[in-house]
Amino acid sequence: MSNAVASPFLLACRRQPTSVTPIWLMRQAGRYMPEYRAMRARHRFLELCKNPQAAAEVTLQPVERLGVDAAILFADILLVLEPLGVGLEFVEGEGPRIHRPLRSAADVAALPTVDVGEAVGAVFETVKLARKALAERVPLIGFAGAPFTLASYLIEGGPSREFLLTKRFMRAERRAWEALMSRLSIIVGEYLNGQIAAGAQAVQLFDSWVGTLSPSDYREFVQPWSRESIRRLTPGTPVIHFGVGTAGLLPSMKEAGGDVLGLDWRVELGPAWDRLGHDIAVQGNLDPAVLLSNVGAIRRATQSILDGAKGRPGHIFNLGHGVHQETPVENVKALVDIVHELSSR
Ligand code: 1CP
């Protein structure tokens, strides 16, 4: 048996006992890391994502530097939107832009059909190369944005605080919203299944911005399509379902599907897990800002999360959201070591 199959990360996804609590970090490859910045000095972000050799190298950087228990594919949730012809750009120092956002039912109707395999073939190639380079050291996680989070970028045209255009569209253009969410659930399914076929051993569905919705709006306007995305996935690969600010949505997200539910730091892990039921694994949930402080503070905050999990099988340690760019690498490395030390059983 390969060690990847017996890896603490994959065992925890399936709620099986492990000798230590596995840890990986959202945005573990990224600008806080000097190796990543060196790579970015040579490639623009989108170019890097489409260069399988370079992207696979970035995927492995945190495994080598930090000793995390899983690698996550280096790519982006928005890549899959590019073939829709909406004008995707990553503006240096700013973030993603969609130059031709969707503002009407006609805009949705005019979207071209896309062959996902053809459009993001480079990402699938990165998965193959990264999996080969990892050589059973740790498992490789693939990922995609969930339909709501992708739709919010398509409609807003970029990052948003209030998601007012998206919330207006949901209700005012209900038919078009359903058509868009249905299209996106198919695209997400194909994108993740392509990554699984290429060698991803688990996948994370990022519904990062869904916490902006009320629980009833989540159930009415989002849940059916998140469920549909997950239903389409090749069986047997663990699915992590994640969002930010989801305290009020967690039971409905659990219903939509996934083997592991991602928690952010606005909930206490122990009570949140008790409320959800222990028939689902949980991932989280250190406030990424804690990593800006010092090793003593990191140790205390880590102990408190591990205490909440009570050593129960099915806890994957992570941050509640991605590593901040300003984070000292040595603090991230300290966190990985502290989790392994304090959870050793
Ligand atoms: O300048 C740079 O180098 C680009 C910064 C960057 C990076 C490192 C972007 C632009 N994307 C990424 C990589 C990335 N994105 C990964 C790689 C794997 C890893 O975690 O190490 C992953 C999983 C993502 C996923 C992603 N992209 C999400 C979901 C996760 C989250 O943070 O909530 C979202 C919302 C995006 C969109 C996006 N891409 C990039 C940025 C800065 C953003 C967020 C913009 C916003 O705030 O709306």
Q: What letters, b where the CB count within 10 A reaches 16 and e where it falls short, cover 285-304?
A: bbbbebbeeeeeebbebbee
pLDDT (tens digit per residue) in 239-256: 999 999 999 999 999 999
Active site annotation includes 40: yes
Strand duo 260-262 + 281-286: pairing: parallel
Res. 1: pLDDT tops 50: no
Annotated active-site residue 76? The verdict is yes
The one catalytic residue in 32, 65, 76, 191 is: 76
Cβ of 74 closer than 6 Å to ligand 1, yes or no, is: yes
What whole-number distance in Å separates Cα of residue 138 and Cα of residue 133?
10
Distance from C-alpha of 312 to C-alpha of 343, rounded to nearest angstrom: 11
Has residue 2 got a pLDDT over 50?
no
Beta strand 239-242 pairing with 260-262:
parallel
Verdict on whether the full-model pTM lies above 0.75: yes
* pLDDT grade for 275, boundaries at 50, 70 and 90: very high
Q: If you measure from the C-alpha of residue 255 to the centroid of ligand 1, how many angstroms do you get, rounded to a whole number?
A: 26
How many angstroms separate the alpha carbon of residue 76 from the centre of ligand 1?
6
Per-residue pLDDT tens digits for 41-98: 999 999 999 999 999 999 999 999 999 999 999 999 999 999 999 999 999 989 999 9
Q: Helices H, strands E: what count in the chain?
A: 16, 9
- Which tens digit of pLDDT belongs to each residue from 81-140? 999 999 999 999 899 999 999 999 999 999 999 999 888 999 999 999 999 999 999 999
Residue 241 Cβ < 6 Å to ligand 1? no
Query: Residue 282 in contact with residue 12, Cβ under 8 Å?
Result: no
Which domains, from first to last, does the chain contain? 8-343 (3.20.20.210)
Q: Which residue type does 220 have?
A: E
